[in-house]
Structure 1
Amino acid sequence: METIIPLLEIIQRLRGPNGCAWDRKQTPTTMWKCLAEELYELEDAIVKDDEDNIVEELGDVLFQVLFIMEIYADAGRFSFDRVIKTVAEKMIRRHPHVYGNSRISSEDELNKQWDAIKAGEKRDAGTSQRRSALDNVPDGMPGLLRALKVSKSAVKAGFEWENLGQVLDTAVSEIHEFEAALSMDEDDAMLEFGDILFSLVNVARFAGFHPETALYRSTSKFEERFRMMEADIAKQGLDLKQMPPEEKEKHWQTAKQACTQKKP
């Protein structure tokens, strides 16, 4: 806690009478948007395994979290100690195989224990009367993350494919439905395209990796190749917009090969 105190003192000074007007007018809602941006920047640093940037972005995320906590504390809503005590008690309660006598022999048992403890917490808090297994999915989550959360919640409720092949068949079927919808109403086509994305989220989940990470890496790969192609075209004094398709493809393949050769 001692290492956090200087950060708290900075936040309190920024929000104090002689501090910063911008910091004083912030609310939990406005600061959440800042925190969300910092989380994506942290993700970028982690994926790139950039140690210095990871340290910096972790600090930024911590600062935003403390800032939000200070807003509530300053308004007399709750204290830092309450936040820390609540999460500490919850983590201990949800790990009885570490802090208690529970015995776990597999990851599946671990997940079932976790879900059972969460359900018990809701019953004790009087919040167990929900209408759907999806009630715990926040509406404001980014689309890809929300799709994954919805999918996982449905699986926990017992709605799941038997194998990856069935999920892939579903994705292929959705592509065919999208192709058919293209000749019809635009809204229908958009919905079918969304079905493709949702089915691919399930493919990723079933295959054991996070769709957001997969999309990030694929986008970064395209970006690297496109930048290299741009640089090569500019070096030759050419204009990408004016090039015929076969020339674009030639430069694109050259960039792909060069990027592949750079990999260790």
Structure 2
Amino acid sequence: METIIPLLEIIRRLRGENGCAWDRKQTPSTMWRCLAEELYELEDAIVKDDEVNIVEELGDVLFQILFIMEIYADAGRFSFDRVVNAVAEKMIRRHPHVYGDSRITSEDGLNKQWEAIKAGEKVGSGVSERRSALDNVPSGMPGLLRALKVSKSAVKAGFEWENLGQVLDTAVSEIHEFEAALSMDQDDAMLEFGDILFSLVNVARFAGFHPETALCRATSKFEQRFRIMETALEKQGLNLKQLSSEEKEKHWQAAKEMHDQKKA
């Protein structure tokens, strides 16, 4: 707590009478956009395993969260302590195998216990009863993350494939449907392409990794290899746009090999 207090004091001074005009006019909605940007920057640092930037971006995310909390506290809505105590109580309540008498040890059992406790928390909480298993999925989430959350919510309701092979078959089927739609209306092709992405999100879920993490790592890998190729071409006085397809492929393969050697 002692390390948090200086940050709160900075925020209060920035938002104070003699502080910063920009900070004073911010609202939870405007600061959420700042927080969202910082979260993506943190994700990038984590994917790259860049320790210096991870420390910096974690600090930025923490600062934005405290800033939003202070806005609410300043308006008399709720206090910092209320937020901290609420999440602490919730985490203790949802881990009876650590803080209570539960003896569940399997991951599947722990997941079921977690969901059962969450469902029990809604009873008598004043929260309106859900009409759909998907009502808890925020509509404003980024597409890939929302697809995963929708899928997980459907699974919790009992809608699931039996094995990874079935999910892969679905993905292959969607690719064939997309190929057929390419010769028709563009909107149809776009929807079929969306079906491919949605099915691949479920492939990742079934395989046990996060699709966003997989995409970020693949994008980062491509970026690193492309930069290597750019540097090599510049040293040779070559222009990528002037190369033939065969020459581009040769330089791309060389960049991939150099990249893999650096990682080894």
Shorter-chain TM-score bucket reads over 0.9
Q: Distance in 1 between matches of 2:250 and 2:102?
A: 61
Partner of residue 204, structure 2 = 204
Partner of residue 157, structure 1 = 157
CA deviation after TM superposition for structure 1 residue 128, in Å: 5.4
CA deviation after TM superposition for structure 1 residue 48, in Å: 2.0
Partner of residue 217, structure 2 = 217
Which SS does the other structure have where 2:124 is aligned? helix
CA deviation after TM superposition for structure 1 residue 105, in Å: 2.8
2:33 matches 1:18: no
Partner of residue 41, structure 1 = 41
Q: Deviations over 1:98-148 (max 9, x none)?
A: 111111031111011100010011112132511110111001111000000
Partner of residue 54, structure 2 = 54
CA deviation after TM superposition for structure 1 residue 254, in Å: 1.0
153-162 or 228-237: bigger deviation: 228-237
| Conserved? CA contact 1:224–1:259, under 8 Å | yes
Which SS does the other structure have where 1:191 is aligned? helix
Q: Distance in 2 between matches of 1:13 and 1:212?
A: 37
1:85 partner amino acid? N
Structure 1 runs (4+) deviating above 6 angstroms are none
Structure 2 gap ranges (5+) = none
CA deviation after TM superposition for structure 1 residue 45, in Å: 1.7
Partner of residue 195, structure 1 = 195
Partner of residue 143, structure 1 = 143
Cα RMSD for the two superposed structures? 1.0
How many residue pairs get aligned? The number is 264
CA deviation after TM superposition for structure 1 residue 53, in Å: 1.7
Q: Distance in 2 between matches of 1:71 and 1:10?
A: 13
Partner of residue 27, structure 2 = 27
TM-score norm. by structure 2 comes to 0.98
| Conserved? CA contact 1:137–1:149, under 8 Å | yes
2:19 partner amino acid? G
Partner of residue 263, structure 1 = 263
1:152 partner amino acid? K
Q: Distance in 1 between matches of 2:201 and 2:233?
A: 36
CA deviation after TM superposition for structure 1 residue 33, in Å: 0.8
CA deviation after TM superposition for structure 1 residue 22, in Å: 0.7
Partner of residue 178, structure 2 = 178
Q: Deviations over 1:1-55 (max 9, x none)?
A: 1111110010000001111111011110110111111111111222222222211
- What pairs with 1:33-112 in structure 2 (closer than 5 Å)? 33-112=33-112
Q: Deviations over 1:156-175 (max 9, x none)?
A: 11111011000000000000
Partner of residue 238, structure 2 = 238
126-135 or 163-172: bigger deviation: 126-135
1:97 partner amino acid? H
Q: Distance in 1 between matches of 2:110 and 2:211?
A: 23
| Conserved? CA contact 1:119–1:128, under 8 Å | no
Q: Distance in 1 between matches of 2:263 and 2:94?
A: 42
186-195 or 254-263: bigger deviation: 254-263
Larger RCO (alpha carbons 8 Å, 6+ apart): 2
2:8 partner amino acid? L
Structure 1 gap ranges (5+) = none
Partner of residue 131, structure 1 = 131
Q: Distance in 2 between matches of 1:3 and 1:244?
A: 58
TM-score norm. by structure 1 comes to 0.98
